[in-house]
Structure 1
């Protein structure tokens, strides 16, 4: 798999609290230059970024980020607002507490509501694998499939761990055929990126891959 083929699967990401428009604009420039799948940026920059890229790259943003414990109504509003501002991909965070409480119906309904808002736009569901037991990860594969989301995603990158090969392999065994996989957080090299894709990931959330290609310090998400 070539570098160009890997880049087609990258959500070029900047979600730091300190992110400025100048930095977001650079992310957009990089994404357009290297032809990544999308830019993944904070909601407050979606409108500006959408106007800047003018459809040359998909704009992705995050909902209920990074903790996921907002009410469903808040997440629904965030999603509607993001789409109105030009987002074509939505990465939502589940309520991990609900999962621990086995409130599976609430999680399923929340995902369904957000997918209904998204319509034909892409919805990715972040389950924060580093906080979950294996049986909880498997349960979320079932829920994401049942609820009709487009992707299951490993991590926010803001908790205690990111994507692992083992979790992507687990997802690949348990999600339905229509659900794709996004590995995110801690992808530090082209070799890692290639391996995640070989194991079944379709998207990679990372800020480091482009930095490596530009021969910059590859720190961050």
Structure 2
């Protein structure tokens, strides 16, 4: 778990915790170009783009240290395993370094854990060397199902478990994130997405073990930190209980 203090945290450190999200369906090509330029300017961990934008993002970010990520089975998770695996293989072949896949939510709610695990395992295999993050969509799950989904993801070889797509009724909460962190081994990382809009929220979540954040408010979060440091104010108050939405 990371403990950031006003004295030690830097804008660059926080930037490398952020996946700048470019997933809204209405985004134009110019919007994607602007988003990639923003990601490069701040030096974030990655951009997460729609599958049809992978080629463009790879081209735009070539020569930077910003990774290109995309999604599979997004946003509902109900496409077949073969299609999720094919989406993943194509994206990786195009240059994507990370894939955020959505589980089959109905299968998990129905207790079909073997099928959920096989679905994830197929994507992990198709991703080859690429990082796989498994989106549970917690808004539709009980605590028991969240734990079961996290453990299935770990058994299947995923690298991250992730709270949400950002398109469901709810997003990341401190309670869910703490539960997810406790449900998997230290080898698995936790990503928060859906409502991570402020610096204080991000740092509160980092303090309980979240290592990656999906965000559209990237510039606001990082500019807030720079402003606080410039004016000698604390970078954040990492108070437990800060919500994601």
TM-score (norm 1): 0.94
Gaps of 5+ in 1: 216-220
| Aligned pairs (5 A) from 1:187-202 | 187-202=196-211
Q: Name 1:218's counterpart in structure 2.
A: none
Aligned residues: 216
**Residues 1-221 of structure 1 mapped to structure 2, 5 A cutoff:** 1=4, 2=9, 3-56=11-64, 57-213=66-222
Secondary structure in 2 matching 1:163: coil
* Partners of 1:213 and 1:7 in 2: CA distance: 7
Q: Is the contact made by 2:199 and 2:222 (CA closer than 8 Å) also made in structure 1?
A: no
The secondary structure found in structure 1 opposite 2:161 is strand
> Is the CA contact 1:83–1:118 (under 8 Å) kept in the aligned structure 2?
yes
Shift in Å, 1:117: 1.2
SS in 2 for 1:33: helix
- Segments of 5+ residues of structure 2 without an aligned counterpart are 225-244
2:88 touches 2:99 (CA, 8 Å); kept in 1? yes
**Which string of whole-angstrom CA distances, capped at 9 and with x for unpartnered residues, describes residues 28-52 of structure 1?**
1111111100001101010111011
Distance 2:60 2:15 in 1: 21
Instruction: Tell me which of the two structures has the higher relative contact order, counting C-alpha pairs closer than 8 angstroms and 6 or more residues apart.
Output: 2
Give the superposition deviation at 1:55.
Answer: 4.5
Secondary structure of the 1:173 match is helix
CA apart distance, 1:4: 2.5
Helix, strand or coil for the counterpart of 1:199?
coil
- 1:37-95: CA deviations, max 9, x gaps? 00011010101110111141100001100000000011111111111111110000000
Give the secondary structure class of the aligned counterpart of 2:70.
Answer: strand
- C-alpha contact (below 8 Å) 1:190/1:209 kept by paired residues: no
Distance 2:211 2:106 in 1: 27
Give me the whole-angstrom Cα distance separating, in 1, the residues matched to 2:157 and 2:221: 35
The alpha-carbon deviation at position 212 of structure 1 amounts to 4.6
CA RMSD of aligned residues (A): 1.4
Separation (CA, whole Å) in 1 of partners of 2:150 and 2:63: 32
The superposition leaves residues 106-131 of structure 1 with CA deviations (integer Å, 9 ceiling, x where unpaired) of 11011111111112210000000111
Q: Deviations over 1:114-168 (max 9, x none)?
A: 1111122100000001110000001112111111100000000001011011111
| TM-score scaled by length of structure 2 | 0.85
